[in-house]
Amino acid sequence: MKETFVDYLSGLNERDRLIVLIGTPVAIFLAFVTFVFSPISSLEREYLKRSQKLKERVEKLRPKALEFVSLKSEVEPALRRVRRGKNLNVADYVKKRAQTYSIEVKNVKVSVGRVQEGIEVKTVTVSFSEVSLNKLGRFIRSLESSPYYFKSTSLEISDMDENGLVSGKVTFNFMRSEEG
């Protein structure tokens, strides 16, 4: 093959020989650049663009992820309280808490619960009479900070006597796990 190439070159004039000797490597180099290097370079640029877009998306999501972690740390204690209340007799528990603060409870009414995403939400209405506002405030706070999930939603004062004692009702939302 070498001899065939040398014979071919010897049959060419000086100008054509120079074109073949210089043009062939240049043509091979251009083909390499066109068919190998350029597509690889294009793929690399595309990869870098996508990588940059991914980094930007991650940076956009980072504050949301941090907020989610923060909210999760706030929600976990509430969920533990919800699970803990699974077998609680709500009316008896509220009456015992009221007795702790010497509050005379007229009536504790617990509504039929509604279920949302595995959590039963009940409305608990506590009617009271002739209670000081301080005792009432401590009673409400004690239920809200109890090991069970109680959240006061409204307080209605219907009467206040000359000694500053009030009568009325307070309404709570009580949440517990659905099963139970």
What are 89-107's pLDDT values in tens digits? 999 999 999 999 988 888 9
Percent of the chain with pLDDT over 90: 41
65 and 12 part of one domain: yes
102 and 52 part of one domain: no
111-149: per-residue pLDDT in tens? 988 888 888 999 999 999 999 999 999 999 999 999 999
Look at the chain and report how many structural domains it folds into. Answer: 2
21-39: per-residue pLDDT in tens? 888 889 888 888 888 888 8
Long-range contacts of 155-159 (CB under 8 A, 24+ apart): 159/129
User: What does pTM read for this prediction?
Assistant: 0.61
Question: Which pLDDT does position 179 carry in this prediction?
Answer: 61
Q: Domain of residue 41: give its range.
A: 1-80
105 and 156 part of one domain: yes
Question: Which pLDDT does position 180 carry in this prediction?
Answer: 45
Could you tell me if residue 92 is left (phi over 0), alpha (psi between -120 and 50 degrees) or otherwise beta? alpha
72 and 141 part of one domain: no
Q: Mean pLDDT across the stretch 49-74?
A: 90
Domain boundary among 14, 46, 80: 80
136 and 102 part of one domain: yes
Q: Mean pLDDT across the stretch 43-48?
A: 90
Percent of the chain with pLDDT over 70: 99
88 compared with 20, residue with greater pLDDT: 88
Listed in sequence order, the residues at least 6 apart from 169 whose beta carbon sits closer than 8 Å to its beta carbon are 125, 126, 127, 128, 155, 156, 158
30 and 4 part of one domain: yes
